[in-house]
Structure 1
Amino acid sequence: MIKELQSFITKISLVLVVVLGISLLSWSYLNWRQAQNIINPDRSISFSATGQVFAKPDIAKLNFSVITQGKEAEVVQTENNTKTQKVIDFIKSSGVQPEDIQTINYSLNPQYDYSWCRQPKEDQFISCPPKIIGYELTQTVAVKIRDFDKINTIIGGLSEHGVNQISNISFEIDDEEVYKNQARIKALNIIEKRAKLISSQTDIKLGRILNVTESSNDSRYKNYLTQPVMAPTAEVASSAPIETGTNEINVNLIVTYEIK
């Protein structure tokens, strides 16, 4: 009996020693990691700047629509296609290349009559079942104009050739990457100057670049015809010159340096 009790106590003691040893090792490892973080922490500093470049746009974009209505769908389509082709021929004759002309919408929709009627022998009004009374076709074409000397001539001639609606006129740069690179260089120069200033005026010594992040702000100039409007007459359009303005290209950079 006494031997069994001694054996049991011995086993319990061994278990306690093992548990205590594991706890001591864990505590020692945790303290070692904390000491490492204090001696060699992950130290860094970030600088941000925006590079800004202004450039004249070299492309004018616009959408025009031809809208026709009639009782028979086939007649409406024929009339609309003829008018639209007339406008496209006019645009091509003005120097716009075929690859800069694209149909972006072709919608033929029935027109319904929802008028009220009186039921026979009943003194009440009901909504009559909708009845197709005609069709409306809207064909929208997107155009790029590269010769800015012809913008007013083209826009002024659209209504004359059958256009009902003009929308989304904007002035853009065909290849913005060239100007974005210039903006990037400006932003990097600003950051470099700030980093040198901080380093020279403080005890902070900068090391290698750890990270660079970028975001751009596309700021295109759009004139007063951005929203869909009915096409003006040729006389009104010719007396309202379109101004191209200047595009602003911004690139935002954040550069993170290592602190030695």
Structure 2
Amino acid sequence: MRGWDEMNHRQNVQQRKNQTVKVVGESTLMATPDQVQIRMGVITQNVEVTVAQAENAETMTTVISEIQELGVQEDQIQTVVYRIDPEYDYIEGEQVFRGYRVVHLIQVTLSQVGLVGTIVDAAVLRGVNSLTSIDFMVQERQALYLIALQEAVNQAKEKALALVEAIQGTLHPMPIEVKELTNESFPDRYPAVLSAQTTPIQPGQLTFQVSVEAIFSYY
């Protein structure tokens, strides 16, 4: 009996596929960033590696102390790169040792998006000479993405219903197949612009774009 039911189910699905409509649903959501990550650091150079290290450590300690005075907590600061590299010049085809380069980059994560310019300027005044990226984000971006996905599916269903009603048919409410065509998209990193005054960094809006393809049957 069970085998008969399964066979009937397969036949019903096949019959439904004989009269189908394929549609694409899309959704775009805009969100205001509520979190930002700043990657910046200190680069020092010297022929003596210990001197380059010491200068770097002293400057970075001053930078961290300064941004903490602005309200940044210790757990919001993370070292993401620490590297010591020898550097060479090439003179008349020969490699000549120039010195050592010490790179220390930190990542600062903030929920106070409006403080970005102030923190960047304070850090630069205290010795930061490398600002690699400023990323604006939405902390609940996964939830927003799922909402956009649901809206895309609903739009696909509305399109299918309109098409089938136009030919005086009746749409089966449950789609035979749903396939996501695009993944969630985020804006590119915003370039950091340094200035003598408070750095004008605008978070803008983050865009979540989703599209799905759905196949519905009708009779």
Q: Is the 8 A contact 2:46 2:52 kept in 1?
A: yes
| Shift, 1:144, TM fit | 1.4
Q: 2:175 aligns with which of 209, 212, 218?
A: 209
Q: Deviations over 1:205-255 (max 9, x none)?
A: 332322222233413264332xxx8xx46xx241x4211111111121222
Q: Is the 8 A contact 1:113 1:131 kept in 2?
A: yes
| Shift, 1:203, TM fit | 4.5
Q: Is the 8 A contact 2:28 2:209 kept in 1?
A: yes
**Amino acid aligned to 2:164:** S
| Shift, 1:204, TM fit | 4.0
Alignment partner of 1:181 is 2:140: no
Q: Is the 8 A contact 1:170 1:220 kept in 2?
A: no
Normalised by the size of structure 2, how large is the TM-score?
0.82
Mapped to 2, the partners of 1:46 and 1:136 lie a distance apart of 59
Alignment partner of 1:142 is 2:107: yes
**Structure 2: 5+ residue stretches without partners:** 1-10
State percent identity of aligned pairs: 24
Name the SS for the 2:183 alignment partner.
Answer: strand
Q: Deviations over 1:88-115 (max 9, x none)?
A: 2222232223333221211211122432
**Amino acid aligned to 2:67:** I
Q: 2:77 aligns with which of 86, 101, 124?
A: 101
Q: 2:203 aligns with which of 244, 248, 254?
A: 244
Alignment partner of 1:257 is 2:219: no
Q: Deviations over 1:168-198 (max 9, x none)?
A: 1121111202222331232233222212211
Mapped to 2, the partners of 1:223 and 1:142 lie a distance apart of 15
| Shift, 1:58, TM fit | 0.5
Mapped to 2, the partners of 1:154 and 1:53 lie a distance apart of 30
Hey, what does 1:61 align to over in structure 2? 37
**Change beyond 3 A, Cα 1:186–1:72:** same
Q: C-alpha root-mean-square deviation of aligned residues, in Å?
A: 2.4
Mapped to 1, the partners of 2:134 and 2:197 lie a distance apart of 14
Normalised by the size of structure 1, how large is the TM-score?
0.70
Mapped to 2, the partners of 1:59 and 1:158 lie a distance apart of 19
Name the SS for the 1:114 alignment partner.
Answer: strand
Name the SS for the 1:163 alignment partner.
Answer: coil
Mapped to 1, the partners of 2:186 and 2:128 lie a distance apart of 29
Hey, what does 1:224 align to over in structure 2? 191
After the TM superposition, which parts of structure 1 deviate over 4 Å for at least 4 consecutive aligned residues? none
Greater share of helix: 1
Q: 2:119 aligns with which of 145, 149, 154?
A: 154
| Shift, 1:158, TM fit | 1.4
Q: Deviations over 1:121-167 (max 9, x none)?
A: xxxxxx34x23231111111122121123222101111111101112
Name the SS for the 1:209 alignment partner.
Answer: coil
Q: Which has the larger radius of gyration?
A: 1
Hey, what does 2:3 align to over in structure 1? none
Mapped to 2, the partners of 1:134 and 1:247 lie a distance apart of 43
Q: Is the 8 A contact 1:172 1:220 kept in 2?
A: no
Mapped to 1, the partners of 2:44 and 2:156 lie a distance apart of 58
Hey, what does 2:5 align to over in structure 1? none
Q: Is the 8 A contact 1:96 1:146 kept in 2?
A: no
**Amino acid aligned to 1:176:** R
**Structure 1: 5+ residue stretches without partners:** 1-35, 117-126
